[in-house]
Amino acid sequence: MTTTTLKKIVQDEPAHIKAELLAKYPSKVARKRSKQIMINEALENTTPEISANVRTTPGIITMRGCSYAGCKGVIMGPTRDVVNLVHGPIGCSFYAWLTRRNQTNAGADGVNYMNYCFSTDMQDSDIIFGGEKKLEAAVQEAYDIFHPRSIAIFATCPVGLIGDDIHTVAKRMKEKLGDCNVFAFSCEGYKGVSQSAGHHIANNQIFRHIVGENDEVKPGKYKINLLGEYNIGGDGFEIDRIFKKCGITSISTFSGNSTYDQFASCHTADLNAVMCHRSINYVADMLETKYGIPWVKVNFIGAEATAKSLRKIAAYFGEKELIDQVEAVIAEEMPDVEKAIADVLPRTKGKTAMMFLGGSRAHHYQELFKEMGMRVIAAGYEFAHRDDYEGRKVIPDLKVDADSRNIEEIEVFRDEAKYRERKTPEEIKALEDSGYKFKEYDGMAPDMEKDTLIIDDLNQYEAEKLVEMMKPDLFCGGIKEKYSIQKLGVPMKQLHSYDSGGPYAGFKGAINFYYEIDRLVNSRVWSYMKAPWQDNPQLSATYGWE
Ligand code: CFM
């Protein structure tokens, strides 16, 4: 019998911590995990290579989700006027029903299917005899009740296993209904190694079936698409508020509070601002190739980052009117932000945080912690690719393996009729010469301090071990980690769902975040928490190979 105690190990021993995380694994697993745990050396400009977007070892309790989650839940889920129909057992729809907190405003037309959950509710008999007829009937039923503009069908694991041809059903129903775009996603949960595969599948199908359908020129100046913003906890509403104030017209958001028509007309915008690089970079690249819209990386998490991103958008258009207005908005919004920082800083400065989240927030949220004087001592993504850690410069070196080959790459060509050069090559060059970066993302590692830990696909065991050893003042993750971390006496903030908070984007969001984190890391309640094993001995066992 052994007793586990919480003990604070000196935080500047990353090699020791890494060795401890790996110590319990069988040697083969330890070797694999070792490549996914990197000690950051970014400050010396020699970012070491990390292994990412690889399979999780069976038996390990991963934080990841599935391909269907990435396609249906993440990309298509926040679209309010498309009926998102899940073809599968009802269990697959549990996490598809408003659990992601992507908020919606029904808008002038009042169409909003967000509060519904559409499923074919497959039964044993459908698995045995096939579910195509049931799917067809479900599409018809949804059409008869709602008369939606579009119905999207999502495959769950059993659909791929029994071989239901969802694409043929979709095509047949599209022809039969006439005024409803029915199309399908082969996003079976097992495709790829995580939800990241589902993002790619979703991006391809939106591009193939909707984008470019509506050429109508929308009113407004300085037209952009905001890609990779999903309006969690109202983030997108705050960003829209700021855009409006600045005089920037948002043609479409992929896909927070979005509509079918936004996707259909997004090719009329003049710039793509990419927020979450991981989930949507495919659409950004395709829009550039086919329609000539350049893209830039932005980040509206953090007040400084928001100001920087607005200036980046204004610099692209290069018109004095917009540049002045953006500066006026920043000048108007920042005093409240600075006041809030001055208020919390004496209490938050020097506190430490860990963040393990999807494929972009573990990077973006570091901005907010920096503004509060907090240090991020360990961070990682669940399913990002190497470019999200090390920057897009590594893309040519990425290896295609059996899992990535599984995901369709669609070939996109210039649309001679609709392609429009947004800037002349000279204008682009002038911008680049002044330090402007198109199509660029440097990833998380360069923004992290030397000797911090960067861990890909963290699991339940490692999360607890890491907290025990490094004892951070705050841990950020998702619902699966929430209670096990809190039981260790460490406050836990969900940065997928924001618990029930938000928005955290933009200027107002930053202020919300400062105060919430201040309350969390300074609450004394956590010091009263004692895990049961701190008082009582815990039964322990050894593995066969030990
Ligand atoms: Fe992009 Fe997202 Fe994220 Fe993501 Fe997500 Fe999310 Fe996330 Mo949860 S699209 S990669 S698949 S920023 S749902 S809004 S919080 S894991 S870090």
Ligand 1: which atom is nearest the Cα of residue 277?
Answer: 1
Cβ atoms within 10 Å of 483's Cβ, excluding its own = 10
98: pLDDT confidence band, cut at 50, 70 and 90? confident
Q: Report the separation in Å between the CA atom of 359 and the middle of ligand 1, taken as the mean of its atom positions.
A: 6
Which alpha helices (H) appear in 107-234, and where do they start and end?
Answer: 124-129, 132-146, 157-162, 166-177, 195-209
Q: What is the reported pLDDT for 12?
A: 56
Question: Do 235 and 505 form a contact (C-beta atoms < 8 A)?
Answer: yes
Query: 72, 255, 361, 497: which to mutate for ligand 1, most atoms within 8 A of CB?
Result: 361
Q: Does residue 11 register a pLDDT over 60?
A: no
3 state SS of 182: strand
- Residue 117 falls in the annotated catalytic set: no
402: pLDDT confidence band, cut at 50, 70 and 90? confident
Query: 63, 71, 276: which to mutate for ligand 1, most atoms within 8 A of CB?
Result: 276
Q: What is the reported pLDDT for 141?
A: 98
Q: How far is CA 418 from CA 225, 254, 290, 308, 378, in A?
A: 17, 21, 8, 31, 46
203: pLDDT confidence band, cut at 50, 70 and 90? very high
DSSP conformational letter for 218: P
Tell me: the pLDDT tens digits for 118-144?
999 999 999 999 999 999 999 999 999
Q: Is the bond preceding 255 in cis, omega lying within 30 degrees of 0?
A: yes
Q: Report the separation in Å between the CA atom of 169 and the middle of ligand 1, taken as the mean of its atom positions.
A: 31
- Residue 167 falls in the annotated catalytic set: no
Q: Report the separation in Å between the CA atom of 358 and the middle of ligand 1, taken as the mean of its atom positions.
A: 5
DSSP conformational letter for 49: P
Residues of the chain with pLDDT > 70, as a percent, come to 96
Ligand 1: which atom is nearest the Cα of residue 70?
Answer: 11
3: pLDDT confidence band, cut at 50, 70 and 90? very low
Q: What is the reported pLDDT for 97?
A: 83
Q: What is the reported pLDDT for 366?
A: 98
- Look at the alpha carbons of 382, 386, 390, 392 in this order and tell me if their dihedral is positive or negative: negative
**Which one is predicted more confidently, 538 or 455?**
455
Q: Report the separation in Å between the CA atom of 183 and the middle of ligand 1, taken as the mean of its atom positions.
A: 24
Residue nearest to atom 17 of ligand 1 (CA): 358
Q: Report the separation in Å between the CA atom of 496 and the middle of ligand 1, taken as the mean of its atom positions.
A: 7
Ligand 1: which atom is nearest the Cα of residue 102?
Answer: 14
Q: What is the reported pLDDT for 50?
A: 95
43: pLDDT confidence band, cut at 50, 70 and 90? low
**Which one is predicted more confidently, 269 or 524?**
269
Ligand 1: which atom is nearest the Cα of residue 361?
Answer: 17
Tell me: the pLDDT tens digits for 293-331?
999 999 999 999 999 999 999 999 999 999 999 999 999
DSSP conformational letter for 393: G
Q: Does residue 6 register a pLDDT over 50?
A: no
Q: What is the DSSP track for 228-287?
A: EE--BTTHHHHHHHHHHHHT-EEEEEEETTB-HHHHHHGGG-SEEEES-HHHHHHHHHHH
Per-residue tokens: 251: 């043609």
Residues of the chain with pLDDT > 90, as a percent, come to 88
Ligand 1: which atom is nearest the Cα of residue 478?
Answer: 8
Looking at this protein, which amino acid is placed at residue 523?
A: S
199, 267, 277, 364: the catalytic one is 199
What is the pLDDT averaged over residues 147-166? 98
Cβ atoms within 10 Å of 492's Cβ, excluding its own = 24
Q: Does residue 34 register a pLDDT over 60?
A: yes
pTM for this entry = 0.94
Q: Taking phi first (over 0 means left), then psi (-120 to 50 degrees means alpha), and beta for anything else, what does residue 537 get?
A: beta
Question: Do 283 and 253 form a contact (C-beta atoms < 8 A)?
Answer: no
3 state SS of 87: strand
Tell me: the pLDDT tens digits for 417-475?
999 999 999 999 999 999 999 999 999 999 999 999 999 999 999 999 999 999 999 99
Smallest CA-to-CA distance from 356 within 233, 466, 438 is with: 466
What is the pLDDT averaged over residues 326-344? 98
Tell me: the pLDDT tens digits for 69-80?
999 999 999 999
Residues lining ligand 1, Cβ inside 6 A: 70, 74, 100, 195, 228, 230, 232, 276, 278-279, 357-361, 496
- Residue 69 falls in the annotated catalytic set: yes
Look-up: residue for tokens 């207005």? 325
Q: What is the reported pLDDT for 42?
A: 58
- Look at the alpha carbons of 503, 505, 506, 512 in this order and tell me if their dihedral is positive or negative: positive
Ligand 1: which atom is nearest the Cα of residue 230?
Answer: 14
- Residue 100 falls in the annotated catalytic set: yes
Look over the chain and give the mean of its residue pLDDT values, rounded to a whole number.
94
Q: What is the reported pLDDT for 9?
A: 46
Q: Does residue 481 register a pLDDT over 70?
A: yes
Q: Does residue 95 register a pLDDT over 90?
A: no
Question: Do 177 and 170 form a contact (C-beta atoms < 8 A)?
Answer: no
Q: Does residue 224 register a pLDDT over 80?
A: yes
Q: Report the separation in Å between the CA atom of 70 and the middle of ligand 1, taken as the mean of its atom positions.
A: 9
Looking at this protein, which amino acid is placed at residue 222?
A: Y
Q: Report the separation in Å between the CA atom of 228 and the middle of ligand 1, taken as the mean of its atom positions.
A: 9
Tell me: the pLDDT tens digits for 486-534?
989 999 999 999 999 999 999 999 999 999 999 999 998 987 877 666 7
Query: 64, 74, 102, 355: which to mutate for ligand 1, most atoms within 8 A of CB?
Result: 74
